[in-house]
Amino acid sequence: MAKLSASCAGCLLHFAEDEAIATRAAEATGLQPMTIERHRFPDGELRLRLPPALPAKVVLWRTLNDPNEKLVELLLAGQTARTLGAQDLTLVAPYLAYMRQDIAFNPGEVVSQRIVGRFLAGLFDAVITVDPHLHRVATLQEAIPVPDAIVLSGAPVLADWVHQHRPDAVLIGPDEESLQWVSQAAARYGWDRAVCRKQRHGDRSVAIELPALPVQGRTVVLMDDVASSGHTLAQAARGLLAAGAASVDVAVTHALFAEGALALVHNAGVSEIWSTDCIAHATNAVSIVPLVAEALVRLAAGQE
């Protein structure tokens, strides 16, 4: 893989918990990894310390699961990076939070996507993310108005993994919104694919209608961008197994998995759960580091 040219050399800032993945990304691009130190006061406030002298090009790696405190960290770190020499500041957020609420469904509701998007655009010149949860917005740049808003997909690397382990798979999306990822992965290997229909009655209450595609005796892989409460995947898995599927596995980009979700999905009859490392989790099977590294190199080449 090509690395950044000497003229584009810079650093990759990260927090301690992201050290492993950020170091791999730095090695793949030629960026220098640097740690942001964090101290928590007894009252919960944060004190951050960045390296005292930064190069002109700075990449900050911070995936935004458990986002509320991390957004404060980005505010503090992003503005401080500018004062320490950063002129070109890129955020790598493999998972982007607050993207699902893109309109006000009821009077008075906060449209969090618009607010958080503009907040990030005020801090960074570019944003790189993976499979953002966009519905009524056509592009990431509409949500985050920065000069470079780059969307990568975990579907191809998940498809490669599935092909190694379930070469005769049928890909099923647990709801209509998963069609884009299911279609992309299925086209890579010519698999049959379909999506379920979902009616949501609450955060943890859903009804699933299976597609017409026959699954009797077939190896099924449920594919989606996010696994959170696990209820949608569990309902779909139960239905598919009741319809005669030989097995059901799960492949997701973002392994959010709230408390109890993993057990819920396994108890529904799912055999294996595979995720990318956008969010560090026990189910991580494939890495998005090569995809992000390539995007960083392309971004730097376009800015030369």
- Could you list the active site residues? 198
Q: Which residues pair with 14 in a beta bridge?
A: 35
Residue 221 DSSP one-character state: E
Exposure class string for 214-243: b at 16+ Cβ within 10 A, else e: ebeebbbbbbbbbbbbbbbbbbbbbbbbee
Angle made by CA atoms 216, 222, 225, in degrees to the nearest 5: 165
Contact 72, 80 (CB under 8 A): no
Q: Which residue has the tokens 């401080």?
A: 80
Cβ–Cβ < 8 Å for 230, 256:
no
Whole-number Å distance between alpha carbons of 224 and 193: 13
* H or E segment to which residue 158 belongs: helix 155-165
Report the amino acid identity of residue 9: A
Structural Rg of the chain based on CA atoms = 20
